Structure 1
Amino acid sequence: MSAIIIDGKQVAAGIREQLKHEVAGFVAETGIQPGLATVLVGGDPASEVYVANKRRSATAAGLADLHVHLDGAASSDEIAQTIRELGENPAVSGILLQLPLPGGMDSGPLIDLIEPFKDVDGLTTTSAGLLARGKPGLRPCTPSGVVALLDSAEVPLEGAEVTIIGRSELVGAPLAQLLIQRNATVTVAHSRTRDLASVTRRSDIVIAAAGVPRLIGEAHVRPGAAVIDVGIHRTPQGLVGDVDFESVSRVAGWITPVPGGVGPMTIAMLLRNTLLAARLQHG
């Protein structure tokens, strides 16, 4: 068996192209150009690359680029003031605070200052509560991207046995909620899970978001299962994920590559959230 590759680049490109038309339609209808405010604190090279990619993608989709770059020595009060000002600015549809913050600064209280309908990362406590209650709101980008990838490959979710490896607030926990709302049966595994392979082998879908290079191998996957790799790690051999792609692709039914799988979807979902945020604010 050779797995079907779920091409995140291709799926994300389709979403971005559709969004371009939707944004143009929104502007024509309302006279309002949705704006994405990215807030970067300091000069971390990786963060600068991530933010630059988001800004380019936003501009290409027809969104206004409202970037704010604060000095690495900025205090939490200064960052908080910036977030408040962006929240009050009607030109700003969505606010994204790029993480991590320098110096180990606690990002939680700052994220919670973002207005819920401008929380395009879907990370505020309010957004998490809306997700948990199944109420309309902005959903975290990477989990939304995972679900969109599964849908694009027509992998059945209703009634499916799903194992998510990783329970972070960024990916694992919200992804579990999204899949439960699609009527999947979800197990969340983590570093304390005993005999991980016995858990994942019974699953129709395995989603690896543990942050451990090549954690998931052929022995962890039931033949024909869908395997989504959220991890990305820089190694001497190049970029790898949480899944040993070479061995797992021999038994899986579907698999995402690294790079080119979940990563492009995260930005596509961010752009989609920004348009949704503009619609929510408009009416």
Structure 2
Amino acid sequence: MAATTTSSMALMKMMRFTDSSPSSTAAVSARVLPFRNPGRLHFQLGSTFRRTITTHRDSISSSNSATAFCCSSAVTASVTAESSFNVIDGKKVSKEIKEEICAEIAEMKDAIGVVPGLAVILVGERKDSATYVRNKKKACEAVGIKSYEVCLPENSTEEEVLKHISSFNDDPSVHGILVQLPLPSHMNEQNILNAVCIEKDVDGFHPLNIGRLAMRGREPLFVPCTPKGCIELLHRYDIGIKGKRAVVIGRSNIVGMPAALLLQREDATVSIVHSRTKDPEEITKQADIIIAAVGQPNMVRGSWIKPGAVIIDVGINPVEDTTNPRGYRLVGDVCYEEASKVASAITPVPGGVGPMTIAMLLSNTLISAKRIHNLK
């Protein structure tokens, strides 16, 4: 990825990016949109694709580019006045969702004496992965989901991982199985993810779930969480999707591709911008809704954004910051300072999409338990 600078627009168009799959988020002080409460979450198998809350895995894309810092200069000459903007508060929405999940789990326990169970398999000692697993465990405990955890050393064999997956597949107290990515390089990620029983694939990564998502008239058992969390934020803030022009930046299997499929199911006209797209700025500028999920800090500038567009920033990228005690700060794929002068609503990083990811994971686990026990 070429460094993001304040040089000419021509240089901006030459920027290349990878189709990685980030995720993110923590609040920014600005006016927050009121969000509606759609009531108790529910899932009905075979019904039309609903606003069911689902899940996804956290992934961090890092970049050491010193020039990744967002510029605070004027957006472009075409934007003559700073527009008011609103923060889409993912922390607030995720808190409400967790409260709804907690209430349903309490009812489920009272009715049949069962609580949902989520198993997480962690291989290796990556600090970011270990942090994610700890956060998921804490979130499970907070809503009443029983957590199962397997931590294996980096040099574990693929067969050992598959053995644990098989055990959880057969365990009736486990309703969801999550294999924390990335896996060590000597393991075949596809083989391992495919081994998870589709009825417990709360990440939504099984090819049959993705295939059903892509087909009209078919319903996946689960949808990848981060993309579903993005759509849920739009729903909760009453941001219309039907008939809108939407651009998804990034085409990963985890975020970009399923996000585009979900937008299409919502009757948006969808374009995907990726590493081989010509004139990505011009395509993005046509969008009413932008979902940025490419893992490149501050790639989307203010000049890429149509005034009044809504932006969902999935990226979470550490960039060097000598003024920060940690030596770095987190930024999204969208240059927040510039975008906030143009967009009508935007998710902050951190504090936007990131909190939704775990909330969706919890919801998918509840959905799985209800389905397995024939509960509405």
- Fold agreement, TM-score > 0.5: yes
Partner of 1:279: 370
Aligned residues of 1:240 and 1:259 also touching (Cα < 8 A):
yes
d(CA) in 1 for partners of 2:268 and 2:112?
A: 38
Partner of 2:153: 71
Q: Is the partner of 1:82 in helix, strand or coil?
A: helix
Tell me the CA shift for residue 125 of structure 1. 0.9
Indicate how the Cα distance of structure 1 residues 191 and 136 shifts in structure 2: closer, same or farther if over 3 A, else same: closer
d(CA) in 2 for partners of 1:86 and 1:41?
A: 16
Task: Map 1:86-125; keep pairs closer than 5 Å.
Answer: 86-103=168-185, 105-125=187-207
- Of 247, 256, 267, 1:183 maps to 267
Aligned residues of 1:161 and 1:184 also touching (Cα < 8 A):
yes
Q: Is the partner of 1:95 in helix, strand or coil?
A: strand
d(CA) in 2 for partners of 1:279 and 1:66?
A: 18
d(CA) in 1 for partners of 2:208 and 2:191?
A: 12
Tell me the CA shift for residue 127 of structure 1. 1.3
The one-letter amino acid of 2:172's match is P
Tell me the CA shift for residue 39 of structure 1. 0.6
d(CA) in 1 for partners of 2:224 and 2:112?
A: 26
- Of 148, 155, 169, 2:253 maps to 169
Tell me the CA shift for residue 88 of structure 1. 0.3
d(CA) in 1 for partners of 2:296 and 2:220?
A: 33
Q: Give the unaligned 5+ runs of structure 2.
A: 1-82, 322-328
The one-letter amino acid of 1:239's match is L
- Of 52, 71, 96, 2:134 maps to 52
The one-letter amino acid of 1:90's match is P
Aligned residues of 1:222 and 1:252 also touching (Cα < 8 A):
yes
Task: Map 1:1-283; keep pairs closer than 5 Å.
Answer: 1-103=83-185, 105-133=187-215, 134-237=218-321, 238-283=329-374
The one-letter amino acid of 1:84's match is S
Q: Is the partner of 2:299 in helix, strand or coil?
A: coil
What per-residue deviation string (whole Å, max 9, x for no partner) do you get for residues 120-179 of structure 1?
100011211221223141110000100011112211011110000000000011111111
What per-residue deviation string (whole Å, max 9, x for no partner) do you get for residues 99-118 of structure 1?
00123522111001111110
CA RMSD of aligned residues (A): 1.0
Paired positions, count: 283
Q: Is the partner of 2:185 in helix, strand or coil?
A: helix
d(CA) in 1 for partners of 2:253 and 2:239?
A: 25
Aligned residues of 1:131 and 1:137 also touching (Cα < 8 A):
no
Question: Which portions of structure 1, spanning 4 or more consecutive aligned residues, are displaced by more than 4 angstroms?
Answer: none
d(CA) in 1 for partners of 2:188 and 2:357?
A: 23
Percent pairwise identity: 43
* Structure label with greater radius of gyration: 2
Aligned residues of 2:157 and 2:187 also touching (Cα < 8 A):
no
d(CA) in 2 for partners of 1:135 and 1:278?
A: 18
d(CA) in 1 for partners of 2:267 and 2:274?
A: 22
